[in-house]
Structure 1
Amino acid sequence: MSWPAGILLFLATVAFMEGFAYVMHRWVMHGPGWFLHESHHRERPEKGVGARFEWNDLYGVIFAIPSIVLLLGGVQLGWWPGFAWIGAGIAAYGAIYFGFHDVIVHERVRTRYLPKSRYMKRIVQAHRLHHAVGTKEGTVSFGFLVAPRPDALKAELKRRGRAGMREPRAAKTGAFAED
């Protein structure tokens, strides 16, 4: 397979993965796979194993398996070389997802990065609005790299009567309670 064709296949796979991730997040993770994903919608403890890992992390392992198999087959086992490019595209999407979702949004790896571009602010805010709901139903914004405008998401949450909405952190901690 030529390099240009391989790179095109790689980029198409990365783009396809956003749609695949949306479907998996919307109808699997917030459906029959909620038993794993629920851990991601709960408050994280400050110490212990739960502070670093959650059951939802198993989805990363599950989604890495096809990438590993395709890379192995395309590079070592004599399968069609395009499989290696597809496997690499899946792995690249996983790396982008990790950087965006786990590092930037949820700050599971501390950095000093602050979103400045309109695009980054939009997808970070959309994902945070997704987490404003702590239940399986009633959530908004299931994509990771493509997201609706935050004002549209807020309007949708309001239209749904704010069902399942979390209590603001300040209300839980009493940080803004009157003395």
Structure 2
Amino acid sequence: MVTILLYSIVTLATFLLMEAITWLTHKYIMHGFLWYLHKDHHQPKYPHVFEKNDAFFIIFATPSILLFYFGAVPSLNFLFFIGLGIFFYGVTYFLIHDVLIHQRFKWFKKTKNKYLIGLRKAHKVHHKHLGKEKGECFGLLYVPKKHHKK
């Protein structure tokens, strides 16, 4: 029972820590030296189904996959649950960023939830800058209160 609780805490803590890691990675790597991969995501009406920016899914999935492997071999350990926290954040990122915000899949077209509307507004503010400089709102789940107002 203690082990299940501990592994659950590790998974949740990893999930929460991923917001800070996402913010830092987005600001300093995606809007930094890997801008050439992220740039097309900031361009209006990119004509392809996939963007160069989609390479980040592979880049960010790699640590999770490795942690799953090393956390399961030779027996289940805490590394697996760190990988699980990263995986859950990745699924959340996909659902919020690609489905809800950018509507790459037409699953959640309309919402009246103030928090989700705030996420959309904050991301819209982030995308008003077409270049890598002067960006704001680099996270995914944390949204400044000013974006929750009507």
Q: Which runs of 5+ in 1 are unaligned?
A: 153-179
Q: Which has the higher helix share?
A: 2
| Contact 1:97-1:144 at 8 Å conserved across structures | yes
Structure 1 window deviating more from structure 2 (61-70 vs 131-140): it is: 131-140
1:119 counterpart letter in structure 2 = Y
C-alpha separation between the residues in 2 aligned to 1:141 and 1:92? 21
C-alpha separation between the residues in 2 aligned to 1:68 and 1:16? 18
Q: Please give the per-residue CA displacement for 1:80-130, whole angstroms capped at 9, x wherever unaligned.
A: 600000001001000000000000000001124423222111111101110
Change (3 A) 1:45 1:28: closer
Deviation beyond 4 Å, 4+ runs, structure 1: none
- Larger RCO: Structure 1 or Structure 2 (Cα < 8 Å, ≥ 6 residues apart)? 2
TM-score (ref. length: structure 2): 0.91
| Contact 1:125-1:150 at 8 Å conserved across structures | no
Q: Which has the larger radius of gyration?
A: 1
Match of 1:60 in 2: 57
Match of 2:45 in 1: 44
Match of 1:24 in 2: 25
Q: Please give the per-residue CA displacement for 1:32-76, whole angstroms capped at 9, x wherever unaligned.
A: 110100010012345xxx2x100000011001000000001111x
- Provide the aligned length of Structure 1 versus Structure 2: 147
Backbone CA RMSD of aligned residues: 1.7
Change (3 A) 1:38 1:150: farther
Q: Which runs of 5+ in 2 are unaligned?
A: none
Structure 1 segment 91-106 matched on structure 2, within 5 A: 91-106=87-102
Q: Please give the per-residue CA displacement for 1:123-168, whole angstroms capped at 9, x wherever unaligned.
A: 111011101111111121101000213469xxxxxxxxxxxxxxxx
Match of 1:167 in 2: none
| Contact 1:126-1:149 at 8 Å conserved across structures | no
How far residue 24 of structure 1 moved from its aligned partner, in angstroms, is 0.2
